[in-house]
Structure 1
Amino acid sequence: MKVVVSGSSGLIGSSLVASLQADGHDVVTLVRRTPTAAGQVQWDPSLGASGVTAELRAAIDGAGAVVNLAGAGVAEKRWDEAWKHQILDSRVAATTCLATAITDVASKPPVFVSGSASGYYGDTGPVAADESAHAGRTFLAHVCQSWELAAEPAREVGVRVVHPRTGTVADPDGGAFGRWLPVFKLGGGGPLGNGKQWWSLISLTDEVRGIRHAIDTDSLVGPANFAAPEQVTNGDLAKALGRALSRPSLVPAPLFGLRIVLGEFADELVISQRMAPNALTASGFEFSHPTIASIVEDMLG
């Protein structure tokens, strides 16, 4: 099966491409630079609908699936207004480009897996949100709503669209953990803020398996929470990491300090984002790492 993947150089995208290729699928990766290898197609996602080229149409025409993971890294830089615009615009423009290309081709892909995130719900409080919960009012909630809405053209032409609302991916090489874990390893780890906020984690293994499940499972449509069945508070997670690394986990990172380093992103880290993966489990998905202990063990090898 031919699978077209955007965001293939990122943490999730690179692992997804490797998984698909290992199983013999024909993977076409969309790249900004001049292609340097077979299976790469150049595109400019920042152009939105006007970025649809003949090469992009040819890549999508006849594909078995399109997976959209393109977007500026939320934890990549300190947030300021310019970077917040980049976070939003990069996701909306890329999704618009792909959704428009899907409508243009004769042989449309049966499924468009287009990313979203736990930020959709804003501050959930202690109660786990399922896919029917209302959107929040934070900046990332606005981003996720706009991101999902940009896929509407594909839905309108009958393509099955799935939005993985991904929680915090537990991997030492990227995202929030890419910044947090090194502090633990140096012995200065601890909760972020007061540590009482809920986090919904998913292992990188289950994230990739979940996307592949979304490709293969016709009954999975619309938003799907990508988060392990067991969630914990940030403080309890800090303790679990400390135990696993045999390091102290008592030094809290105060909110004012986080704001100095991360800008407004700090405010997103100290609100509760607790999700129930109801759509995934109802569609038959079984987690390889359903508990926090198993996620930490997988992440740390």
Structure 2
Amino acid sequence: MFTFRSKIPVSVATAFHWHEQPGALDRLIPPWEDVQIEHRSNSIEPGSRVVLKMHVAGFPLRWVAEHTELEPNSHFHDRQVSGPFARWEHTHRFLPSEDGQCVLEDQVDYQIPGGGLGDRFGRSKVEKMLLQMFRYRHDTTTHDLIAHARYQERPTMKIAISGASGLVGSQLGPFLTTGGHEVAKISRSAGENTIQWDIKNQEIDSTKLEGLDAVIHLAGESVAARWTDKKKQAIINSRVDGTRLLSESLAKLKNPPKVMVCASAMGFYGDRGDEILSEGSPPGDGFLADVCQAWEEAAQPARDAGIRVVHARIGIVLSPKGGALAQMLTPFKLGVGGQIGSGKQWWSWISLDDVVGALHHLTMNDQIRGPVNLCAPKAVTNHDFTKTLGQVISRPTFLAVPEFAAKLAMGQMADEMLLSSCRMEPKVLEETEYSFRDPHLERCLRKLLGRQ
């Protein structure tokens, strides 16, 4: 029997309602777990099922869970129908505390396969896994609820997201739904709650843009590859043409949304050495700096139409699910990770959860407009980042990647991303009292990698 409890600074009803939302399941899957949602009923009513695809000891497996009990504002229960355990019975309880807040309790009655032998050799590993998992789940639940509570006096919104299936969008959408917001996707593909667009032909279904309260524009070609001329053109077109199409279309609406939050990047500042960069700092030089300037300028039609436009200059997003950290993990786990070049270049990093939280903050706070740096309060050098990651996963980091090797492998991309120095400060976020979930690098990496 495993039990984990946390006190959450909201009422029982509020905490229970959060768990009823379809996006809660996405938010509760630990990022270090190789788990995908194959099917869900979007309900916790008895009889509803969830099917998860995962790998156990390297082997693919499906975990089928069924909800069997539900008592609103009290508890709900699920059990394993098939999966890795011989038995799994999980009860989620919501207990009122004396001060009117909620004590969240997860209790798991489980049995490891293999009888006494399995219990003898596997129990400690399973207990550690459960502790890390539920610590992460309770932490995420608490911070999501706190973030929504800050803007609880505002009415819920209808929000469209482009790039909804990307690293950031795949967590932003579920987060917004747990706050009661209605989310639509802007995508090339047709589907439920989807606004179709075609950037190449500058076409979008404008009829479905009517009635939106906000648009969060994240779509763009990945920059994490060698930059051929064709790749560079795709990077430019996807960002500049996509932003122009969207902003011009919103500007023509009878009832345009009040806000458009448009992704940008720290590449706006170029390679700036040790200079501390606020939102008022001038742009830098290079391909990415030019792209970011054109990207932000493409939103001018929306500004001219009176829409509040925010440019989120996003730093290095940390998640084992994608981006820089995901690419670094394999060599680091093999003991061949190390600093890149001199290691003196500044990396302005931010956790995926803080990107999600900050985008929500920018959408809801009517006082924010223009550029906003999305990064943790303290940037670190590549050397310190490398050293910290090695400590967290208990691996050596003495094998540095020489500058010439990085350039030989990745060309201009290495120059402007891996070797470039950008020391941003999140001045606007701090001035508007955004509360960072992950301000410290080591704690952030331990949480993301299940090494707390």
TM-score bracket, shorter-length normalisation: over 0.9
Question: Could you list the per-position Cα deviations for residues 101-130 of structure 1 after superposition, in whole angstroms to 9, with x for gaps in the alignment?
Answer: 111111110000001000000012112200
> Does the Cα contact within 8 Å between 2:214 and 2:258 map onto a contact in 1?
yes
**Which residue number corresponds to residue 178 of structure 1?**
326
> Does the Cα contact within 8 Å between 1:80 and 1:264 map onto a contact in 2?
no
Secondary structure at the aligned position of 1:252 is classed as coil
Q: Establish whether residue 51 from structure 1 lines up as the match of residue 207 from structure 2.
A: no
**Which residue number corresponds to residue 278 of structure 1?**
427
Q: Name the amino acid aligned to 1:123.
A: D
> Does the Cα contact within 8 Å between 1:244 and 1:296 map onto a contact in 2?
yes
Secondary structure at the aligned position of 1:96 is classed as helix
Q: Establish whether residue 25 from structure 1 lines up as the match of residue 174 from structure 2.
A: no
Distance in 1 (alpha carbons) for counterparts of 2:246 and 2:433: 28
> Does the Cα contact within 8 Å between 1:167 and 1:202 map onto a contact in 2?
yes
Structure 1 range deviating more: 22-31 or 182-191: 22-31
**Which residue number corresponds to residue 228 of structure 1?**
376
**Which residue number corresponds to residue 2 of structure 1?**
158
Question: Could you list the per-position Cα deviations for residues 199-256 of structure 1 after superposition, in whole angstroms to 9, with x for gaps in the alignment?
Answer: 0000000000000000000111100000000111000100000000000111111122
**Which residue number corresponds to residue 156 of structure 1?**
304
**Which residue number corresponds to residue 110 of structure 1?**
258
Distance in 2 (alpha carbons) for counterparts of 1:264 and 1:140: 10
Q: Establish whether residue 243 from structure 1 lines up as the match of residue 391 from structure 2.
A: yes
Q: Name the amino acid aligned to 2:354.
A: D
More helix by share: 1
Distance in 2 (alpha carbons) for counterparts of 1:219 and 1:159: 13
1:138 maps to which of 286, 301, 304: 286
Secondary structure at the aligned position of 2:376 is classed as coil
Q: Name the amino acid aligned to 2:445.
A: V
2:359 maps to which of 211, 216, 220: 211
Q: Which runs of 5+ in 1 are unaligned?
A: none
More strand by share: 2
Higher RCO (Cα < 8 Å, 6 or more apart)? 1
Higher CA-based Rg: 2
Q: How does 1:31-110 map to 2 (within 5 A)?
A: 31-33=187-189, 35-36=190-191, 38-47=192-201, 50-52=202-204, 55=205, 57-75=206-224, 77-110=225-258
Distance in 1 (alpha carbons) for counterparts of 2:444 and 2:231: 30
> Does the Cα contact within 8 Å between 2:389 and 2:442 map onto a contact in 1?
no
| 1:183 CA displacement | 1.0
Q: How many equivalent residue pairs?
A: 293
Secondary structure at the aligned position of 1:43 is classed as strand
Q: Name the amino acid aligned to 1:45.
A: I
Secondary structure at the aligned position of 2:219 is classed as coil
1:16 maps to which of 172, 176, 192: 172
Distance in 2 (alpha carbons) for counterparts of 1:95 and 1:7: 12
Q: Establish whether residue 296 from structure 1 lines up as the match of residue 441 from structure 2.
A: no
Q: Which runs of 5+ in 2 are unaligned?
A: 1-156
Q: Name the amino acid aligned to 2:392.
A: A
Question: Could you list the per-position Cα deviations for residues 18-57 of structure 1 after superposition, in whole angstroms to 9, with x for gaps in the alignment?
Answer: 1112222111101112x24x2122211233xx323xx2x2
Point out 4+ residue stretches in structure 1 off by more than 4 angstroms. Answer: none
Q: Establish whether residue 254 from structure 1 lines up as the match of residue 399 from structure 2.
A: no
Q: Name the amino acid aligned to 1:208.
A: V
| 1:11 CA displacement | 0.3
Q: Name the amino acid aligned to 2:350.
A: I
Distance in 1 (alpha carbons) for counterparts of 2:185 and 2:389: 35
> Does the Cα contact within 8 Å between 1:60 and 1:66 map onto a contact in 2?
no
Distance in 2 (alpha carbons) for counterparts of 1:155 and 1:237: 38
Distance in 2 (alpha carbons) for counterparts of 1:145 and 1:175: 22
Question: Could you list the per-position Cα deviations for residues 87-107 of structure 1 after superposition, in whole angstroms to 9, with x for gaps in the alignment?
Answer: 111100110111011111111
Distance in 2 (alpha carbons) for counterparts of 1:286 and 1:124: 27
Distance in 1 (alpha carbons) for counterparts of 2:228 and 2:177: 38
Secondary structure at the aligned position of 1:9 is classed as coil
Q: How does 1:115-134 map to 2 (within 5 A)?
A: 115-134=263-282
